Structure 1
Amino acid sequence: MTECLFHNVPSHISLILGVTDGRMWHSLADVLILLAAAIVLGTIAEQLKQSAILGYIAAGTLVGPNLLGWVSDRQSIFDLAELGVALLLFAIGLEFSLTRLRRLGRIPLLAGIFQILFTLLAGLAVSILLGFSVSEALAIGATIALSSTACVVRMLNDRAELDAPHGRTALGILLVQDMAVIPLMLIITALVGKGTAADITVQLAVSLTLAVLFVAVFYGLFNYVLPRLLELSSLRRNRDFPILLAMVMAAGSAWAAHRLGLSPALGAFVAGVLLAISPFATQIRSDVQPLKTVLVTLFFAAVGMFGDLNWVVDHLALVLATVAAIVIGKMLITFGVAWFCGQPWQFALGTGLCLAQVGEFSFVLATVARGTTANPGILSESTFRLIVSTTIATLLLTPYLIQLAPAAANLIRKLGRRNQNKEPLQDAPQITELESSRETDSDLILILGFGPAGQRVAGELLQVGLKKIVVIDLNHENLQIASQYGLRSQLGDATQIEVLEHAGLYRSRLVITTLPSTTVCRQIIYLVRQLAPGTALYVRCRYHLHHWQLLAAGADVVVDEEEYVGECLAKQILESPLLPLLLNAKQKPDQPGNSHA
């Protein structure tokens, strides 16, 4: 009946009425099914004291085309979910200033180059011994040389181990691997028959030139154009504009890198690092957080969709043997190159455990190497399925390996008595510096809002010697005043968790909210009580009507403006010369002679 009604409707009227072929809604249904399954299985994984990532991957496998078949268009989902990896690296980059990036040192760079080279050669040699052709063996070596940036960085960040010795080295090696995606892709493309050695050389030179151009353009954009744009009063008044701008910058950096033939994830990370020196970095990171969370979850679910449980069951022994060989082999190779490049061996072992998996970009390399039905590549269908199954299996093992890394480092440190007094000293200054900085900031005072009220509070606190104060405000001019006070300041929305965490909420003893909005104050009270329940919370209340609401929400002290104004007015009257006159006027009718009785 519906089809008859709209059969003769003109196309422009159909668009107005929303009558479409339904492809968009079908894709949205696929995304919703994946996310719903990820919520359910991710929650189950957390209840079982496991990483939620395991649940996300399992969700994709369950509803994917190879099992229940509820979601079939896995490639489109995977293409969309790749943006999640880019947003994850963009957010991590916002935490890395150029100084902090340089602190990674030469070890990750050298170890990354050697790790890719030796893993590729090991995969090539073993594959040839097993009877594969040289071109197919080279493709296999290239796919297993890469580790999972999304999984490792997500786990290390959640465990607060990106600044640990093994975490810093693992991150550096992952960045080198992301840079290696382009040359590896060019090599596999040439092996499939779509290019020559000369083409590869030319393309590498072009990619290098474009990478330099990318960095230069984004450096100028983030350091000269963006600050002036974000200081516009219209952007400060309307919170929608900064959020939209943050999304455009995050997704735009990934898109620009992709258009230039570079790794979108690496391009997003570089853009984040360049933006990290800006005072707006923390707020931008907070603004992209919701979309990043959705797309990263979708990414892990999309990875699971490539799994085929029936094929794995039929070839279980082969899959298990391959997984064991890759995990042990990559762990030993990464451990060896990290130790050879100068990392203490207990931390090198932790780095090896973190990177003992096959990465998400291996799906891309394997797909190119397999080719299409019309133009077959160098990988057979069975080899392609083995690579996909092995990749998913190693990703499922990654959370356990990362959890094992610190414990293994401590165990090796205890057993290695001879090296205990020498090698750990190389990383000891950085660890001590990090720990000491945390200790010295354990008595922070956060002032949320630095208008006239916040400035008066800060002035009084400074006079009594309290100097460990961090100011959070969305007004750039107020932050300039805070810097004149000599205070640490951060541009951001105090109602967002990321902003409060970055400012040091977990290390604060006192939070002072001087913002006039009661709704905003209630949101802040809820977040502070949720994240740092032991922190004292002093709150400004504009209207007496909301006084008890804020106390009930969890504030320790509420300063009621209307009540305080009344007290101040009464005090001024009682101290003014007008008081005796008022008292005399009150007594005159009662004096003798003035009575009409």
Structure 2
Amino acid sequence: MPHDISLITNISVALVAAFAGGLLARRLGLPTIVGYLLAGMLIGPFTPGFKGDVGDISQLAEIGVIFLMFGVGLHFSLKDLWAVRKVAIPGAALQMLLATGLGFGLTRLWGWSTAAGLVMGLALSIASTVVLLRGLMDAGELNTPAGQTAVGWLVLEDLATVLILVLLPAFFGSSGGNPWAAGGIALLKTTIFVVLILFAGGRFLPWLLTWISHSRSRELFILASVAVALGTAFAATAAFEVSLALGAFLAGVVLGESDLSHQIGDEVLPFREIFAVIFFVSVGMLVNPIYVWNNIGQVIALTALIVFGKAIFTLFLGLILPSSGRTMIVVAAGLSQIGEFSFIVGQAGVGLGVLTQDQYSLLLAGAIFSIMLNPVMFWSIPHVETWLKRYPRLWARFERHAAIEPEKTKLPETDHVVVVGYGRVGEHIGTVLQRLKIPFVVVEADNHRADDFMTKNIPTLIGDAANSEVLTHAKLDKAKALVVTLPNEAASELVVAAARDLAPNLPIVARAATNSGVERLAKLGAHDVIHPELEGGLEIIRHTLLRLGYAATQVQGYTDAVRRDQYHTNIVPTEHLVLEQLIQSVRGFEIAWRSINANSSLVGQSLAMLNFRAQTGASVIAVLRNQQLISNPESQLTLEPGDTLGVIGDESQIQAVDGLISNSQAANPPPTNRFAPSGA
């Protein structure tokens, strides 16, 4: 009997369909989430062709929810939230209340039950973190005061989602009894779990991962990070009957405070991305296109409420909130959509029997259209701002608190260097550029690191250069160079390819992690590719050989041969032999640099007249004059004061050159109290 591969089949088809849908969405300039949702509809039970198993994929989608919430917790920052508390806390509360009321009222007009209308309203009040962050990155607004306010606002909505998921089963479950008592018990269990995780887990989990990190096993560290996310979520449900999402979120919060948070985020990211894609596919599978088409009027009304209703109400909250007009315009544009957390709330409603599958289809259709329209909302930001400024009294009301917002560091517009990735390598580059007073812009994907850079007045764009439009805001067409220092070679290749499309003539220097990566990055358009591990190894062997008594020229020859071998993989065996012969031919020889003073008798004589080789045995191979290198100088070249000669020879020959130069200066001492020659 053949093995049952239904799960493998469903995973494979879901990922292939998601890839095709995501690629199509990007080609059309839409968020990839739209493609994933459409892919789910394509393999769902309501469309012809392959029909995925909703049960299997839904189980995998739960893992996607866990990793999504774990990621939110990992990047949760109470400090960032506190910085925008005066706007975000009252704004998020009022906006969610208004959106819930609008959704509830609209569904009551359609004849829905009170419970269904309330769940729909709550789902409509929560925007998508993924869509908002991508929109802010693409618009270059993530590191502005407006962008930071929008992120803080959304963090509060995410926290509210956790509370909603705790209370929904208590109020709409089938257990009967007093819902307020059930809600109180649910809150009590949640409180116990939160206290236990934050205090006990806050000490044990970071210690555990730190201890494992010292085992020098990346495999164990990845396994531990994933196990903490999944295990905490499972414990939350099994022992305390709270949602998987809450357990995962708190695990992320606890580990986000540890010194290993960046490494944990990097290691868990691939799991989060893959399972999040499956989650969005599973959501799309529940959409019934026929029902949506037959109720297109309701879909349009719901989409209008999400996109325009939420945006307008959010914008005019600026009349009472201590914020600026532009901040509220950006926040309104960013929150005019719904996404993953709305799906989670909707699924909870379906699971409790409050929402029907058809009603859930309406929610999903509204989400798809709102996500598709969100780039248009960001595009409209300057136009809305211009329109509002036509009404000075209204705009003055919006701007009455504008002075309280800090100004961000101005980004250079031209003749600058763009540094993608500001880790240890990028930071060294930035230090040198600062000392040389060369303007530069940092593109950094990590919010916390980017915040640190901006506090140091380093011009910074926050965004994933490999997966967003943030590079379009770096003015690559007017830059002097692009330096890509990302440790992830695949991401570096995407950045180099995108940069070459945006600025065909821009010099690009990239960091490679492997020998094969050197060749790929060069083919994609990088002018110079550096392999840091190779360079570090060569520097170590250079010092080692010098300590062993090898001549500097011979050591340089060896390192040059290795570089040529590693950076140019098309070198042929014959060339290896020639290189080795050249190295052997200069064994024991040194290249020395010697300066000629103005009072030297060598000044005014040509190299042919001096005949260094006959006098010393050494050969002059270069002359440095006025900071210009003259290599392989002609014999007719006449020496001038201040020239520096590059001579090659063994130790005794170099000593002979030193004696010749020293004698020439002693024989012709510097003039004292002399008059200028006649006719001068």
**When the two structures are superposed, what TM-score results if normalisation uses the length of structure 1?**
0.68
State yes or no: 1:208 paired with 2:219: no
What is the one-letter code of the residue matched to 2:100? Answer: L
More deviation, 292-301/520-529: 520-529
Q: Secondary structure at the match of 1:163?
A: coil
Q: CA deviation at 1:254?
A: 4.7
Q: CA deviation at 1:50?
A: 2.8
Q: CA deviation at 1:34?
A: 1.2
Q: Secondary structure at the match of 1:65?
A: coil
**1:293 alignment partner, one of 258, 263, 273:** 273
| Paired position in structure 1 for 2:662 | none
The whole-number CA distance in structure 2 between the counterparts of 1:445 and 1:317 is 46
What are the Cα deviations for residues 50-71 of structure 1, in whole angstroms up to 9, with x where unaligned?
3322221111101111102523
The whole-number CA distance in structure 1 between the counterparts of 2:83 and 2:26 is 34
Q: How many residues align?
A: 511
Query: 1:519 and 1:391, CA in 2 relative to 1: closer, same or farther beyond 3 A?
Result: closer
Q: CA deviation at 1:38?
A: 1.6
State yes or no: 1:38 paired with 2:54: no
Is the contact between residue 85 and residue 150 of structure 1 (CA under 8 Å) also seen in structure 2? no
The whole-number CA distance in structure 1 between the counterparts of 2:130 and 2:148 is 15
| Paired position in structure 2 for 1:241 | 220
More deviation, 48-57/564-573: 564-573
The whole-number CA distance in structure 2 between the counterparts of 1:107 and 1:304 is 34
| Paired position in structure 2 for 1:190 | 171
The whole-number CA distance in structure 1 between the counterparts of 2:196 and 2:587 is 62
Is the contact between residue 590 and residue 650 of structure 2 (CA under 8 Å) also seen in structure 1? yes
Is the contact between residue 155 and residue 402 of structure 1 (CA under 8 Å) also seen in structure 2? yes
Query: 1:88 and 1:136, CA in 2 relative to 1: closer, same or farther beyond 3 A?
Result: closer
The whole-number CA distance in structure 2 between the counterparts of 1:79 and 1:59 is 18
RMSD between aligned alpha carbons? 5.0
Is the contact between residue 162 and residue 168 of structure 1 (CA under 8 Å) also seen in structure 2? yes
Q: Secondary structure at the match of 2:408?
A: helix
Q: CA deviation at 1:256?
A: 5.2
The whole-number CA distance in structure 1 between the counterparts of 2:201 and 2:22 is 37
What is the one-letter code of the residue matched to 1:68? Answer: P
Query: 1:212 and 1:428, CA in 2 relative to 1: closer, same or farther beyond 3 A?
Result: farther
The whole-number CA distance in structure 2 between the counterparts of 1:150 and 1:307 is 21
The whole-number CA distance in structure 1 between the counterparts of 2:308 and 2:381 is 15
Is the contact between residue 415 and residue 439 of structure 2 (CA under 8 Å) also seen in structure 1? no
The whole-number CA distance in structure 1 between the counterparts of 2:387 and 2:54 is 47
What are the Cα deviations for residues 126-183 of structure 1, in whole angstroms up to 9, with x where unaligned?
4445544434433333333333334434544566544344443333333333333354
What are the Cα deviations for residues 78-128 of structure 1, in whole angstroms up to 9, with x where unaligned?
342243344345446555655444334332222222222222233334444
Q: Secondary structure at the match of 2:268?
A: helix
Is the contact between residue 253 and residue 271 of structure 1 (CA under 8 Å) also seen in structure 2? yes
Q: CA deviation at 1:363?
A: 4.2
More deviation, 311-320/438-447: 438-447
Is the contact between residue 145 and residue 408 of structure 2 (CA under 8 Å) also seen in structure 1? no
Q: Secondary structure at the match of 1:66?
A: coil
| Paired position in structure 2 for 1:408 | 381
Q: How does 1:305-320 map to 2 (within 5 A)?
A: 305-320=285-300
Q: CA deviation at 1:184?
A: 3.2
**1:226 alignment partner, one of 209, 212, 215:** 209
What is the one-letter code of the residue matched to 1:194? Answer: S
What is the one-letter code of the residue matched to 1:216? Answer: F
**2:333 alignment partner, one of 323, 348, 353:** 353
State yes or no: 1:303 paired with 2:283: yes
The whole-number CA distance in structure 1 between the counterparts of 2:241 and 2:410 is 41
State yes or no: 1:523 paired with 2:517: yes
Q: CA deviation at 1:204?
A: 1.4
The whole-number CA distance in structure 2 between the counterparts of 1:569 and 1:447 is 42
Q: Secondary structure at the match of 2:24?
A: helix
Is the contact between residue 358 and residue 394 of structure 1 (CA under 8 Å) also seen in structure 2? yes
State yes or no: 1:177 paired with 2:157: yes
| Paired position in structure 1 for 2:90 | 110
Q: CA deviation at 1:37?
A: 1.2
The whole-number CA distance in structure 1 between the counterparts of 2:71 and 2:138 is 13
Q: Which has the larger radius of gyration?
A: 2
Query: 1:98 and 1:33, CA in 2 relative to 1: closer, same or farther beyond 3 A?
Result: same
What is the one-letter code of the residue matched to 1:571? Answer: E
The whole-number CA distance in structure 2 between the counterparts of 1:494 and 1:170 is 30
More deviation, 262-271/129-138: 262-271
| Paired position in structure 2 for 1:474 | none
Is the contact between residue 444 and residue 509 of structure 1 (CA under 8 Å) also seen in structure 2? no
The whole-number CA distance in structure 1 between the counterparts of 2:361 and 2:507 is 50
The whole-number CA distance in structure 2 between the counterparts of 1:193 and 1:322 is 29
Q: CA deviation at 1:203?
A: 1.4
What is the one-letter code of the residue matched to 1:547? Answer: R
Query: 1:509 and 1:73, CA in 2 relative to 1: closer, same or farther beyond 3 A?
Result: same
The whole-number CA distance in structure 2 between the counterparts of 1:538 and 1:425 is 53
| Paired position in structure 1 for 2:477 | none
Q: How does 1:143-154 map to 2 (within 5 A)?
A: 143-154=123-134
Q: CA deviation at 1:35?
A: 1.1
What is the one-letter code of the residue matched to 1:352? Answer: A
Query: 1:544 and 1:198, CA in 2 relative to 1: closer, same or farther beyond 3 A?
Result: same
Query: 1:553 and 1:47, CA in 2 relative to 1: closer, same or farther beyond 3 A?
Result: farther
Query: 1:392 and 1:566, CA in 2 relative to 1: closer, same or farther beyond 3 A?
Result: farther
What are the Cα deviations for residues 250-296 of structure 1, in whole angstroms up to 9, with x where unaligned?
54555455555555556545554554565544333332232222222
What is the one-letter code of the residue matched to 2:487? Answer: A
**1:397 alignment partner, one of 352, 370, 387:** 370
More helix per residue: 1
State yes or no: 1:386 paired with 2:369: no
The whole-number CA distance in structure 2 between the counterparts of 1:166 and 1:562 is 64
Query: 1:70 and 1:122, CA in 2 relative to 1: closer, same or farther beyond 3 A?
Result: same
Is the contact between residue 421 and residue 486 of structure 2 (CA under 8 Å) also seen in structure 1? no
Is the contact between residue 330 and residue 352 of structure 1 (CA under 8 Å) also seen in structure 2? yes
More deviation, 150-159/193-202: 150-159
Q: Secondary structure at the match of 1:226?
A: helix
| Paired position in structure 2 for 1:433 | 408
Query: 1:218 and 1:413, CA in 2 relative to 1: closer, same or farther beyond 3 A?
Result: farther
Q: CA deviation at 1:305?
A: 0.6
Query: 1:88 and 1:524, CA in 2 relative to 1: closer, same or farther beyond 3 A?
Result: farther
The whole-number CA distance in structure 2 between the counterparts of 1:30 and 1:397 is 28
The whole-number CA distance in structure 2 between the counterparts of 1:306 and 1:148 is 19
Q: How does 1:35-74 map to 2 (within 5 A)?
A: 35-68=15-48, 70-74=50-54
The whole-number CA distance in structure 2 between the counterparts of 1:91 and 1:264 is 13
- Structure 1 gaps, min length 5: 4-18, 470-491, 555-559, 582-597
Q: CA deviation at 1:320?
A: 2.3
Q: Secondary structure at the match of 2:97?
A: helix
The whole-number CA distance in structure 1 between the counterparts of 2:283 and 2:42 is 12
Q: How does 1:69-88 map to 2 (within 5 A)?
A: 70-88=50-68
What is the one-letter code of the residue matched to 1:190? Answer: F
More deviation, 209-218/561-570: 561-570
- Structure 2 gaps, min length 5: 441-484, 500-505, 539-558, 571-578, 592-647, 657-680
What is the one-letter code of the residue matched to 2:11? Answer: V
Is the contact between residue 357 and residue 394 of structure 1 (CA under 8 Å) also seen in structure 2? yes
The whole-number CA distance in structure 2 between the counterparts of 1:448 and 1:562 is 41
